[in-house]
Amino acid sequence: MREEISIIKSGITLFFITLIAILLLVTVDSITKPTILLQKELEVSKSLKTVLPQAVKFSEKIVGDKIIYYKGLKENDLLYGYAFISSAKGYSGNIELIAGVDLNGTIQGIKILKHAETPGLGSKINEVKSEKTILSVIKGEKVEEKNIPWFCEQFIGKKISNLEVLKTASENKIQAITGATISSKAVTKAVREGIKKLRQEIK
């Protein structure tokens, strides 16, 4: 009898511990979620200028409570192009990015928003290469540094027909990152599928 009571007490204790843990998780989530969403909105807002550099302002196409795409406008509210958020599964998880295209479907820029790819390999999708060399430092030469990841820069000026990943250098296609073909293909797929979806939305 005592053993049964002890088991019941243990069960009740475990139940309340679990309940408290769940309530704490829900509370923390409700507190942090608005902040996380705000941070993401700010990140996207800053990124729009990167992927549609000639636009002076942006407007959103919203369906329900979801942003479908962004319009980039030039002076006098002339339409310059569209930006969209897209994602695809990489090596270690989803890679999320924002990309912009002009009215001819030419990519104006892409920016990685989120990824969990392997450091030193897949993480190179977001790596900005330094133009400095040992010689330039010794000579004291001023070298203009780029702020666009070299992998993302490949997409600029290309159209959907060029979005094919190759292991060798190519002006018309996308060169894969050495040792990170899966990550390279995931970014390329996200851009390609995003453009296809955008075309359907703006018809």
Q: Which pLDDT does position 26 carry in this prediction?
A: 72
pLDDT at 203 over 70: yes
The reported pLDDT for the residue numbered 143 is: 52
**How far is Cα 88 from Cα 17, in angstroms, rounded to an integer?**
38
Domain boundaries of the chain, sorted by first residue: 47-201
What is the pLDDT, as a whole number, of residue 100?
Answer: 97
pLDDT of 18 reads 83
Residue 38 pLDDT more than 80?
Answer: no
Name the average pLDDT for the chain. 86
In order of 83, 92, 146, 152, 159, the CA distances from 119 in angstroms are 28, 11, 21, 17, 29
- Asked if residues 108 and 123 have their Cβ atoms less than 8 Å apart, the reply is no
**Confidence at residue 3, expressed as pLDDT on a 0 to 100 scale:** 64
Residue range 120-146, pLDDT digits in tens: 999 999 998 766 666 655 656 665 556
| Residue 23: predicted pLDDT | 76
pTM to 2 decimals?
Answer: 0.75
| Arithmetic mean of pLDDT, 166-171 | 91
**pLDDT exceeds cutoff 80 at 41:** no
What pLDDT, on the 0 to 100 scale, is given for residue 176? Answer: 96
